[in-house]
Structure 1
Amino acid sequence: MSDLYALTVIAHGSELPQESLEEVKALLSDKLAVEKYTSKVLSKRAVDFFFKAPNPAEIQKILKDELLTKFPQYDLVFQLESSRKTKKLFIFDMDSTLIYQEVIELIAAYANIEDKVAEITERAMNGELDFNESLAERVQLLKGIDASSIWEELKHKIEITNGAKDLCTALKKLDVVMGVCSGGFIPLAEHVKGQLGLDYAYANVLGTDENLELDGTTIGPIVNGEKKAELLLEIAKNHKIDPKDAVAVGDGANDLKMMSVAGFGIAWNAKPKVQKLAPSCLNTKSLLDVLYILGYNEEEITKLTS
């Protein structure tokens, strides 16, 4: 007998119009050949459909193609129903995920080289450049910047992503272990950890010289895609959590590896290549919508975030 699967439909706007639901129903019947399904309204913006899926990999492929081409106005997240509320570990990327900015570009602005750094960052996040090489190239451009007060100044400039605090509040109530694994830099990763009540923070360390200026190097292991995956598995092992009960959330190509070793991955307003390769995509305005993916309705979310 086939397992029961859930298809969560999340609107990007303020509500999910009836015509959108009709499109999804047609998608289920015509494209996916689903003969029988049930549905559950989670909110005005989100609905669950449940059905048996003999060929889940084929369905996932069709949904990906439809999502990225025909139905850009909402997200379709397909997963095994029994695994939705068993999540025990969440590992987040930081830049452009838990915060809106790319920290390295904020630092670059101090030396008026933001455009140069941003161009390299964009190519790296799209998977066009090796992350380690791109990081070394960008860090070299930062050489000579006064590091004596920059981190305190940047703490006041970074903006936490909408919904991130409420999501972390809810996950903590659900006894989920949380961490940030960032290709950015540890002072701000630690700051975000404190702001959101996370359990772990890992990121890169910038080298400084005797004048407390950035020396154009990093110190210690680079937190690249491989390292993020290793850290996720290490944290899971330390807490005796099966990796299948872990979720990785990020926006860049260097987040795909940790998504692959976790039980589930969510590409948050991600680069096009990442959207195509990630297990699921969320392109809304609030990270709190992750709770819809986990199967919680509006009433339950209100209780979890209060």
Structure 2
Amino acid sequence: MKYTLTLIGNSATPLTDELIGAASGALPNSSAADWLAQAIACDVSFEADDSARVENALRIQLAGAKIDLVVQPTEGRRKKLLVADMDSTIIEQECIDELAGELNIKEQIAEITERAMRGEIEFEPALLERVGLLAGLPLSALENVYKTRITQTPGGRALTATMRAHGATCALVSGGFTYFTQRIADAVGFDLNRANTLIFVDEKLSGDVARPILGRQAKVDTLVELRTTLQLPREATLAIGDGANDLGMIAEAGLGVAYHAKPVVAEAANARIDHGDLSTLLYMQGYRENEIVNM
């Protein structure tokens, strides 16, 4: 079967002939490197019966090199549906932790967030516990957090703009809150967004969220629903996230990607980004530098 290895460097670690040569040496029946972006990304095609074994050999061969790599079937790399987590993926923060900072309890809530993202505790009770601790926080504090503490992950706007320009649908699906997903979806260029809805009383957080709670299964359900509506095969879908509540949608997607993820997620995903930004997802799909829509 024909596969493509994509190697993706970054500004700190550009791709070199030495790195490409080391990778090619671990591939059976490999082609010459096809540059997608000079010194940043290239494809190398090969034929093999067991791609997982080849990828393991590659990771051993390139151990210590701070670059990303993915091995995929050559056919069908460009996806028609992107489903993305928001916190610590499309944005660089966890919104609920930043809200906690407004009450000077960030460390307390961040510890619960970290445990939930590692899969040590269930997402839904962890969410309710943290939201309960935020009771009384005024609406103005949420606006302040959005304006002063939330930053977009580099490459996100190019990712959505490029995929949408080539006919893909982009969905932001978060276990966080619609207050933030609606704004981030508009700013980054997503077609739609889904998340949990905070309940306010007299313009202050009540300490609860509307039901049903959007968690791990809801993310899977959203991917399947959109895939069905768009009449896409599983192979045409892409999901990306960093936490344990993303594991289901990552497993369900044609290409599931762990983004700078917790160990349990990185180990389970069939692809991962450990070093690059979100533009890495475009090179994984075979987009060339001159095809990328920079926003």
TM-score range with shorter-chain normalisation?
over 0.9
Matched with 1:51 is: 46
Larger mean CA deviation between 35-44 and 183-192 belongs to 35-44
- 1:1-306 to 2 correspondence within 5 Å? 3-12=1-10, 13-28=12-27, 34-43=28-37, 44-63=39-58, 66=60, 70-85=63-78, 87-147=79-139, 149-157=140-148, 158-209=150-201, 211-301=202-292, 304-305=293-294
The one-letter code matched in structure 2 to 1:7 is L
- 1:186–1:205 CA contact under 8 A, matched in 2: yes
Quote how far apart the aligned CAs of 1:75 are.
1.2
- 2:238–2:254 CA contact under 8 A, matched in 1: yes
The one-letter code matched in structure 2 to 1:58 is R
- 1:106–1:154 CA contact under 8 A, matched in 2: yes
The alignment partner of 2:261 has SS state of: coil
- 2:173–2:194 CA contact under 8 A, matched in 1: yes
Structure 2 residues without counterparts, runs of 5 or longer: none
Quote how far apart the aligned CAs of 1:60 are.
4.2
Structure 1 residues without counterparts, runs of 5 or longer: 29-33
Quote how far apart the aligned CAs of 1:192 are.
0.9
Change (3 A) 1:281 1:72: farther
Deviating beyond 6 angstroms after TM superposition, the runs of 4 or more aligned structure 1 residues are: none
Quote how far apart the aligned CAs of 1:71 are.
3.6
Larger mean CA deviation between 247-256 and 53-62 belongs to 53-62
The alignment partner of 1:207 has SS state of: strand
Q: Percent identity?
A: 34
- 1:162–1:285 CA contact under 8 A, matched in 2: no
The one-letter code matched in structure 1 to 2:2 is L
The one-letter code matched in structure 2 to 1:191 is R
Q: Distance in 1 between matches of 2:26 and 2:106?
A: 44
Quote how far apart the aligned CAs of 1:61 are.
4.8
Larger mean CA deviation between 270-279 and 101-110 belongs to 270-279
Q: Distance in 1 between matches of 2:192 and 2:101?
A: 28
Quote how far apart the aligned CAs of 1:219 are.
0.8
The one-letter code matched in structure 2 to 1:269 is H
Quote how far apart the aligned CAs of 1:152 are.
2.5
The one-letter code matched in structure 2 to 1:20 is L
The one-letter code matched in structure 1 to 2:47 is K
Q: Distance in 1 between matches of 2:110 and 2:223?
A: 27
Q: Tell me the matched-pair count.
A: 292
Q: Distance in 1 between matches of 2:244 and 2:182?
A: 23
Change (3 A) 1:57 1:15: closer
Quote how far apart the aligned CAs of 1:26 are.
3.1
Change (3 A) 1:155 1:130: same
The one-letter code matched in structure 2 to 1:277 is A
Larger mean CA deviation between 102-111 and 288-297 belongs to 288-297
Change (3 A) 1:300 1:179: same
Quote how far apart the aligned CAs of 1:240 are.
1.8
TM-score with structure 2 length normalisation? 0.92
- 2:24–2:30 CA contact under 8 A, matched in 1: no
Quote how far apart the aligned CAs of 1:25 are.
2.4
- CA-atom RMSD, angstroms? 1.9
Matched with 1:31 is: none
Change (3 A) 1:36 1:241: closer
The alignment partner of 1:161 has SS state of: coil
The alignment partner of 2:231 has SS state of: coil
Q: Distance in 2 between matches of 1:200 and 1:187?
A: 14
Q: Distance in 1 between matches of 2:253 and 2:241?
A: 12
Q: Distance in 2 between matches of 1:255 and 1:72?
A: 27
TM-score with structure 1 length normalisation? 0.89
The one-letter code matched in structure 1 to 2:179 is P
- 1:91–1:178 CA contact under 8 A, matched in 2: yes
